[in-house]
Amino acid sequence: MKLSLVRADHPILRQKAENFDFGVVGIYDPKALFESMCDLMCKERGIGLAAPQCGIPLNVFIMGNPSDPSSIISVFNPKIIEEIGTEVYYDEGCLKFPGLFLRMKRNSAIRVRYTNYKNHTDTIKFDGMTARVFLHEFDHLQGILYTDMAKPYHIEKAKRKQKIYVKQKQRQHALL
């Protein structure tokens, strides 16, 4: 299946995703969905991608290094068991908003439970960037965008930097 990103104003991005049901043979085979999402995330050079960003209203996301597809994990029906560690600020981006990097405060570690595309459930602790990516993609499944959580000051500052980023990208494409 060939996937693409929906527009940033698509209503699916504001809806809570539905749980993926492994027991029902539906239109989405878990392995095929995972592979298609991996293809798109790697093509877009992202480190995380939620199914709603592809127009699919399911409780699924992937995360990993786009330069190393073997590092990408599938996350079906995730639950945050516990947010641990300290809250830290870090600049965060999103495939839905190219070049918009917002200063976000998130827990440095989390304990989570999720199922992979092979229908194997695990409870694990993530920390650092992996915890941040998990939380960002989990928010997508709740219909929450990072722009909803950022402070107005950080949004305005990021939008100024985004304009420069967009102009640079346009110049690069013009040279191709």
Q: What is the DSSP letter of 43?
A: H
Tokens of 8: 């940033």
Distance (Å, whole) CA 152 – CA 72? 33
Distance (Å, whole) CA 124 – CA 6? 30
Catalytic residue among 18, 44, 137, 156: 137
List b or e across 138-148, with b for residues whose CB sees 16 or more CB atoms inside 10 angstroms. Answer: bbbbebebbbe
Active site residue 137: yes
Distance (Å, whole) CA 165 – CA 61? 27
| Enzyme catalytic residues | 137
